[in-house]
Amino acid sequence: MNLSTRSKVKTEFSMSSMTDLIFLLLIFFIITSTMVNPNAIKVLLPTGKTQTNAPSPIEVAIDAETRLYVMNKEVSYEGLEQALLAEAKGKNPEEMSLALSADKSVPLEFVTQVMATAHRMKLRMIIRTGRQ
């Protein structure tokens, strides 16, 4: 009596399709990560030695043409306080911080104008610098 089965189940698994999928995902993530630009405003920062971290500060930037940006939206120097109030709406201003990124070619008077506005609003001030 021959009881052996003629069709056997193959227990092999082909990994070639899985590796193709992984390489496609790797290429996708590499390409998309190079497109992400967290700071869209071109600012050449001065260098500094110390680093300070603040939870979710209000981002203020001054580019080389002395244009002012609050959270990547261009505002005038006269409208800076209103833009900061709009960003700090519903939050305690004394717990908020302002992170200033100013190009190193910007005259000091524009930086001090932003600092004076932050001081009037009782915001904590952070000046961003590049690494040495």
* Residues forming beta bridges with residue 60, ordered by sequence position: 70, 100
pLDDT digits (tens, 9 = 90+) for 34-47: 766 555 666 666 66
pTM for the model stands at 0.58
Q: Report which secondary-structure segment, H or E, holds 96.
A: none
Position 5 confidence tier, pLDDT thresholds 50, 70, 90: low
pLDDT digits (tens, 9 = 90+) for 97-131: 888 888 888 888 988 899 898 888 888 888 876 66
Domain 47-131: which topology? Answer: Nucleotidyltransferase; domain 5 (3.30.420)
Domain boundary assignment for the chain: 47-131
Cα–Cα nearest to 126, from 102, 103, 107, 100: 100
pLDDT, mean over the chain: 80
The dihedral through the CA atoms of 59, 60, 64, 65 has a sign that is: positive
Q: Is 94 helix (H, G, I), strand (E, B) or coil?
A: coil
